Amino acid sequence: NAFPSPYMVSLSQLASGIIYILPVWALGLGGRSFPSGFSVPKMGLLGFFHGSGHFATVISLGAGSVAFANVVKAAEPFCSVLMGVLMTASFPPLMELLSLTPIIAGVMIASMAEPEFSQTAFIFAMGSNLLFAARGTLAKLIMSGGPGTKKIGGADVFALNTLFALVIMLPLAIYMEGAVIQDAWAKYTTGTKAVDFKALMNGELDTKVKPSPEYFAAYMLVCGLYYYTYNEMAFMVLDLLDPVGQAVGNTVKRVVIIIAGTIVFNKPLTQQGIIGSSVAIGGVLVYSLVKAKASAPKAKKA
């Protein structure tokens, strides 16, 4: 909200990931190198899902509160089931599907209770749910390999995914904000305070004081690197789990974000919002127990 340029902010976060991964590939750090043998059309589609989903998330966060956007995004497991059905024709067991109901119900309760309900925030948050669910399903298919396709690990799939997303989303960002970004940057970065590296690494940005151009540029870079590395870990987890399981894990993560957001931005949830959030998170626990019970017989047979 302090720097109302969601498209360019989103693009900068994608670009930060490229700054990180190119040296890793070039120097062979961790035994990694630029992957080969991947399908360009599939990776391009994956990049579109990722870039569009990320843009939608940032726009949603700018249009509403952090808590509201993340409660809506708690419906991601349901969207993952839907995309799994549409993209792979795989239907989950009935009990597993029913166990997602509390998650959806909690999201609806919390959304109706949000004192700063924003239709824009809701639409873009749900849109990002669908896009990220499609991303997770397609990414899992790519990681699994196939006839004539080389298997690629989760970390490198996300790296390629980010590279394609940057290229695909660049024209949109330029079209939406290219003509105003220079002026917006000049108006916002009028501070002269020296760069505080401790504050920078903690992701601190005092919205009451204008930052210097150097600090804000470094801040954007650090935010982008944090975004990239946590998503890289998420793809490594996806390599071990199914898309729905990973989406449920993301929902647990949102509890921390919701609580932190209410504290940092001084926008507490209402009583109904707390109830809705609790129901949604409780639904995650129910889903996890049902999933574990369903997986137990398969493990014994193996």
Interacting residues of 247 by C-beta distance below 8 A, sequence separation 6+: 76, 77, 79, 80, 132, 133, 136
The pTM assigned to this predicted structure is 0.78
Contact call for residues 8 and 59 (beta carbons, < 8 A) = no
Average pLDDT over all residues of the chain:
81
pLDDT at 300: 52
- For residue 52, the model assigns a pLDDT of 96
Residue 299 pLDDT: 46
Q: How far is CA 123 from CA 5, 118, 237, in A?
A: 18, 9, 28
pLDDT value at 152 more than 50: yes
Classify residue 244 by burial, with Cβ atoms within 10 Å: 0-12, 13-18, 19+.
Answer: buried
Residue 23 pLDDT greater than 50, yes or no: yes
Q: What is the pLDDT of residue 161?
A: 93
pLDDT at residue 45 in the model: 95
Is the CB of residue 220 less than 8 Å from the CB of residue 143?
A: no
Among 93-97, 106-110, 205-209, 263-267, the minimum mean pLDDT is found in 263-267
When pLDDT is cut at 50, 70 and 90, the band that residue 41 belongs to is very high
Q: Which has more pLDDT, 249 or 35?
A: 35
Mean pLDDT in residue range 27-50: 89
Check residues 191 and 164 and name the one with the higher pLDDT: 164
Q: Residue 269 pLDDT more than 80?
A: no
Calculate mean pLDDT across residues 226-252: 73
The mean pLDDT of 227-246, rounded to a whole number, is: 76
Identify the pLDDT of residue 148. 56
**pLDDT band, very low/low/confident/very high, at 248 (cuts 50, 70, 90):** low
Residue 279 has pLDDT above 60, yes or no: yes
For residue 185, pLDDT over 70 is answered with: yes
pLDDT tens figures, 53-74? 999 988 988 887 766 776 777 7
Which among 65-74, 125-134, 190-199, 245-254 has the top mean pLDDT? Answer: 125-134
277-295: average pLDDT: 76
Mean predicted confidence (pLDDT) in 125-149 = 83
- pLDDT score for 250: 64
Residue 11 to residue 22: CA distance in whole angstroms = 17
Q: Tell which wins on pLDDT, 184 or 109.
A: 184
